[in-house]
Chains A and B, each alone.
Chain A
Amino acid sequence: MLLIGAVGIRFGPIRRRVIGEEDRVCAAVAAKVRFGMSSIGTGYDLSASTFSPDGRVFQVEYAMKAVENSSTAIGIRCKDGVVFGVEKLVLSKLYEQGSNKRIFNIDRHVGMAVAGLLADARSLTDIAREEASNFRSNYGYDIPLRHLADRVAMYVHAYTLYSAVRPFGSSFIMGSYDQDDGAQMYMIDPSGVSHGYWGCAIGKAKEAAKTEIEKLQMKDMTCREVVKEVAKIIYIVHDEVKDKSFELELSWVGEITKGRHELVPKVIKEEAEKYAKESLEEDDESDEDNM
């Protein structure tokens, strides 16, 4: 269609004229080619109610970037439950240990791990809790996770439709366990899309985490085994150079907790962290041999 070269030639001798639609498209296309696929959308990115000429809503994509800037959270669904792990970066030694939680209880049987803008995530936690609570009030039983994920995703999506509000800058991984339906896990991203997963990672090291998760045969593992692997993966993807200290937040819901979502007990967490640290040391040692 319009080539960058042609744009250059056209703009050359012209001093003053009204900038037309074609020029805007050229500029956007030029920007895209220059910066690659994760581009800026000059002119089409000011509000969520605007599409770009190539059919993207840039505000939603920028919201996803906000999630990518946050530290990693992972969730793994196994045979008899779901385990969450969050790499909680500690920005100051003055922080109280265990504060600024990134894993929430939405209902007794549903847990949620978040990444991205924490304040956005917290306000959505309240919405999700209200949904679950209203469901129980109306229908007399625990909300099925698939339905809750649909409702929350619908809510997140609503904020991508208008220019008066901005999209949520966080992604959410929700998990639950039920005697009859088994373990379930869903992830909702800022665009309002929700998928069911066996293994999921969000945040800055999500690609590295996904690679590690893919190595596991989680369908055949129990929560006890997966807890150690989750701790190990968080330790693996944590960047010692760029980010200093971190706190590992671990939670699970499954047969082992009788269907209640809880933080992993201290003893088991310490065991998992020990396993994680030992695995890292082994890898370090094996690296030295290769040299």
Chain B
Amino acid sequence: MLQNSRNPGCTSPEVKTGTTIMAVEFDGGVVIGSDSRVSAGEAICNRVMNKLSPLHDRIYCALSGSAADAQAIADSVNYQLELHSIETGDAPLVRAAASIVKNISYKYKEELSAHLIVAGWDRKKKGQVYATLGGMIIRQPFSVGGSGSIYVYGYVDAAYKEGMSKDECLAFVTNAITLAIGRDGSSGGVVYLTTITEKGTEHSIIPGNKLPVFHDE
């Protein structure tokens, strides 16, 4: 079945968060969202995994790629960021969190197989979204990632407009992830959403049957 020289049958294929992840900036904060499917080959290990991981009070990251690698990075960054914020005596900047993620991703580029999108709010630059694919760092108004993202590049490029409100962003993210789930076998389940602003974080879950319905259904 899955036997070949790399997988002699006694080992199971690597657990991947196939995934669709996304984050958008708006005036006052960010919205970050993900699907919830974790697959090991054809099996779905976990259909309700929350791929949005906190790095600090107002900084979250979205995990994609190898589940273990992504979680290992997120845990390490969480630790380093807490130490950094205690040493400086201030809430950490989103840029700092993204830089730490980027440094790990780049240094261990050959060993790791994970991509984290870092998004959050800080008092200097307010809401920010950073992509760290491959060990680079770039701030974007919105960013998509994971295996499901390729199916929705057209949608997000067409639907994005500047100056969206928080609710418009929530709808934008929900739609994009739903469409990706519809086409990507490695994405599915529910949509997790987190909104981060100066006031704090708000979480919501949209179960499968409450997702927006598009033409093919």
Contact = CB atoms under 8 A, between A and B. Distances in A.
A138 B100 contact: yes
Given A140-B137, A141-B93, A180-B123, A146 B88 contact: yes
Interface string A115-149: 00000000000000000000001111100101100
Contact of B95 (A139, A144, A147, A150): A139
B136 to A, nearest CB: 12
Interface in A143-164: 144, 146-147, 150
Interface in B103-162: 103, 123-124, 137
B89 A180 contact: no
Nearest to B130: A140
Given A138-B100, A180-B123, A144 B90 contact: yes
A57 B99 CA distance: 42
A111 B150 CA distance: 48
A154 to B, nearest CB: 11
Given A139-B84, A140-B137, A180-B124, A146 B89 contact: yes
Interface string B78-92: 000000100111100
A140 B99 CA distance: 6
A144 B123 CA distance: 14
A139 B102 CA distance: 10
Contacts of B98: 140
Interface residues of B, number: 16
Interface residues of A, number: 10
A144 B88 contact: yes
Nearest to B89: A146
A160 to B, nearest CB: 21
A138 B89 contact: no
Nearest to A143: B88
A141 B90 contact: no
A147 B87 contact: yes
A146 B96 CA distance: 17
A139 B123 contact: no
B117 to A, nearest CB: 16
Nearest to B80: A138
B100 A141 contact: no
B4 to A, nearest CB: 41
Contacts of B102: 140
Contacts of B88: 144, 146-147
A139 B90 contact: no
Contacts of B87: 147, 150
Contact of A140 (B89, B90, B95, B123): B95
Interface string A203-243: 00000000000000000000000000000000000000000
A180 B95 CA distance: 15
Nearest to B96: A139
B128 to A, nearest CB: 11
Nearest to A151: B87
Contacts of A146: 88-89
B89 A141 contact: no
Nearest to B81: A139
A118 B161 CA distance: 58
Nearest to A179: B124
B107 to A, nearest CB: 11
Contact of A138 (B90, B99, B124, B137): B99
B123 A141 contact: no
Nearest to B88: A147
A146 B90 CA distance: 11
Given A139-B96, A140-B102, 15 more contacts: A137-B103, A138-B100, A138-B103, A139-B93, A139-B95, A140-B93, A140-B96, A140-B99, A140-B137, A144-B90, A146-B88, A146-B89, A147-B87, A147-B88, A147-B89
16 contacts: A138-B99, A138-B100, A139-B93, A139-B96, A139-B99, A140-B93, A140-B98, A140-B99, A140-B137, A141-B93, A141-B95, A144-B88, A144-B90, A146-B88, A147-B89, A150-B87
The list of the 6 closest CB pairs from A to B, nearest first, reads A140-B99, A139-B96, A147-B88, A140-B95, A139-B99, A180-B124
Interface of A: 137-141, 144, 146-147, 150, 180
Interface of B: 84, 87-90, 93, 95-96, 98-100, 102-103, 123-124, 137
